[in-house]
Amino acid sequence: MLLSMTSYGRSTAALTTKSIAIEIKTLNSKFVDLRLRVPPIFQEKEMVLRKILHDKVLRGKIEATFTFENQEGGENYSINGSIFRQYHLQLTSLQQELNIPDGDLLSSIMRLPEVVSTSEESISDEDWKTIQSTLDAALDKLIAHRAEEGAAIEADLQIHINSILELLDLVTPYENERVEKVRQRMSSSLDEYLSRDNVDENRFEQEVLFYLEKIDITEEKVRLKQHCNYFLQIMGNKEVMKGRKLNFISQEIGREINTLGAKAYSSDIQKLVVRMKDDLEKIKEQLANVV
Complete domains list, the chain, with CATH: 7-75+124-146 (3.30.230), 77-116 (no CATH), 148-287 (no CATH)
Residue 3 · residue 145 · CB < 8 Å: no
The pLDDT, as a whole number, for residue 198 is 61
pLDDT at residue 192 tops 70: no
Question: Per-residue pLDDT tens for 122-171?
Answer: 788 899 999 999 999 999 999 999 999 999 999 999 999 999 999 999 99
Instruction: Provide the β-strand partners of residue 126.
Output: none
CA angle 255-257-260, nearest 5°?
Answer: 110
Computed over its alpha carbons, how large is the radius of gyration of the chain?
A: 34
171 against 183, higher pLDDT: 171
d(CA 249, CA 161): 11
The pLDDT, as a whole number, for residue 120 is 57
- 117: DSSP letter: E
Other Cβ atoms closer than 10 A to 288: 12
pLDDT at residue 62 tops 70: yes
d(CA 274, CA 268): 10
Written as one letter, the residue type at 100 is: I
Question: Per-residue pLDDT tens for 11-51?
Answer: 999 988 788 999 999 999 988 899 999 887 888 899 999 99
Other Cβ atoms closer than 10 A to 41: 16
Residue 283 · residue 160 · CB < 8 Å: yes
pLDDT at residue 112 tops 70: yes
178 against 225, higher pLDDT: 225
Average pLDDT of the chain is 86
Alpha-helix residue ranges (DSSP H) falling in 75-194 = 81-97, 105-110, 125-193
Bridging pattern class, strands 32-37 and 60-70: parallel
Question: Per-residue pLDDT tens for 235-262?
Answer: 999 888 999 999 999 999 999 999 999 9
Confidence class of residue 196 from pLDDT cuts 50, 70 and 90? low
d(CA 128, CA 24): 18
d(CA 92, CA 4): 57
CA angle 74-24-66, nearest 5°?
Answer: 30
SS3 content of the chain, % helix, strand, coil (to 5): 65, 15, 20
Other Cβ atoms closer than 10 A to 206: 11
The distance of Cα 41 from the centroid of its chain, to the nearest Å, equals 33
Q: CB-based contacts of 169: which residues, under 8 Å, 6+ apart?
A: none
The distance of Cα 254 from the centroid of its chain, to the nearest Å, equals 19
The pLDDT, as a whole number, for residue 233 is 96
Helix axes 267-287, 125-193, angle to 10 degrees: 170
The pLDDT, as a whole number, for residue 268 is 92
The pLDDT, as a whole number, for residue 85 is 85
The pLDDT, as a whole number, for residue 100 is 77
The pLDDT, as a whole number, for residue 110 is 75
